[in-house]
Chains A and B, each alone.
Chain A
Amino acid sequence: KNEVEQSPQNLTAQEGEFITINCSYSVGISALHWLQQHPGGGIVSLFMLSSGKKKHGRLIATINIQEKHSSLHITASHPRDSAVYICAVKETSGSRLTFGEGTQLTVNP
C-alpha cells in the first residue's frame, strides 16, 4: 500500500464543472504539497499546506491533519486546467517528499 493515495486516478469533466481531487496519506507529516504537471511535462508547485485551507484564483486546497486527508478543488473548470495533479507529503521525520501517483484531469469544452 502506498503511503500517499490519490483518487480518482483519472477524471473527465465538462468546462465549468466543480472538480475535487483527493489525497490520503498514512504517515505523520509536516507539510503537504499539491503539484501540477502540464501535458508538456513541466511541474509546478500549486500549494504547500500544513493546516487549514489555501486559495489561489479558482484553486482551493484543504487539509485535515487528524483524518490524514487533503483535497484540491477547482471551481469553474476550464480546458487549460487539463493536467496531472500530484499530491506529495513531507514526513515529520526526514527531509524527503513522498509522492502520490497523480490524477489525470481532462476538462472538455
Chain B
Amino acid sequence: NAGVTQTPKFQVLKTGQSMTLQCAQDMNHEYMSWYRQDPGMGLRLIHYSVGAGITDQGEVPNGYNVSRSTTEDFPLRLLSAAPSQTSVYFCASRSDRDIGTQYFGPGTRLLVL
C-alpha cells in the first residue's frame, strides 16, 4: 500500500491564482480530511469527508473547496489564492469515523506571493 499520497510537495502561487492539491489513499478508508499547519497554531481542520459524496466544513474552510467523488481521492481546491493561505497542508485518512489510526500524507508546502 502506498498509504496517503499528496501532490505537489511544494508549490508557489501568485495572489489570485487557483490550484488543486491532490490527495489519494489506497486503504479504502471512509474518513478523509485536510488540515493546514501554521507556526504556533497546531493542525487546523479545513474540510473533511465521511465517505464518497459527503463533505463538510472544518474550522477554517473559507477560500477552499473539496469534493469526494471516489473513496480514494479527496482534492482540495484553492479558489483564489491569498498570502494568508501560505501554509503546510496535510491530508489524512482513517478507517472508521469514530475510532481508528490516523494516517497522514507527507504534506504540501504552499507559498502564496
- Shortest Cβ gap from B73 to chain A (Å): 19
> Among residues 58 to 85 in chain A, which have CB atoms less than 8 Å away from a CB atom of chain B?
none
CA of A86 to CA of B41 in the docked complex: distance in angstroms? 12
Contact for A44 among B31, B44, B88, B104, CB less than 8 A: B104
Contact for A96 among B58, B90, B101, B104, CB less than 8 A: B58
Main DSSP-derived SS at the A contact region: strand
6 nearest A-B pairs in the assembled complex, by CB-CB distance:
A43-B104, A101-B42, A95-B97, A99-B43, A31-B99, A99-B42
B107 within 8 A of partner (CB): yes
> Among residues 24 to 64 in chain A, which have CB atoms less than 8 Å away from a CB atom of chain B?
30-31, 33, 35, 41-45, 48, 50
B16 within 8 A of partner (CB): no
Summed over the interface, the residue pairs from A and B with CB atoms below 8 Å come to a total of 56
CA of A99 to CA of B35 in the docked complex: distance in angstroms? 11
> Among residues 10 to 42 in chain B, which have CB atoms less than 8 Å away from a CB atom of chain A?
31, 33, 35, 40-42
Which chain A residues lie closer than 8 Å to B40 at the CB level? Answer: 101
Contact for A100 among B42, B44, B88, CB less than 8 A: B42
Could you tell me if A41 and B107 are in contact, using CB atoms closer than 8 angstroms?
A: yes
Main DSSP-derived SS at the B contact region: strand
Could you tell me if A45 and B102 are in contact, using CB atoms closer than 8 angstroms?
A: yes
Could you tell me if A97 and B45 are in contact, using CB atoms closer than 8 angstroms?
A: yes
CA of A70 to CA of B106 in the docked complex: distance in angstroms? 26
- Please, how many residues of chain B have a CB less than 8 angstroms from a CB on the other chain? 26
Q: A30-B99, A45-B101, A45-B104 are in contact. List 17 more A-B contacts (CB 8 A).
A: A30-B98, A33-B102, A41-B109, A42-B106, A42-B107, A43-B92, A43-B104, A45-B102, A50-B99, A86-B43, A95-B31, A95-B48, A95-B97, A97-B102, A99-B43, A99-B44, A100-B42
CA of A50 to CA of B101 in the docked complex: distance in angstroms? 12
- Nearest neighbor of B30 in chain A, beta-carbon distance: A95
Which chain B residues lie closer than 8 Å to A50 at the CB level? Answer: 99
Contact for A90 among B42, B48, B58, B98, CB less than 8 A: B98
CA of A48 to CA of B101 in the docked complex: distance in angstroms? 6
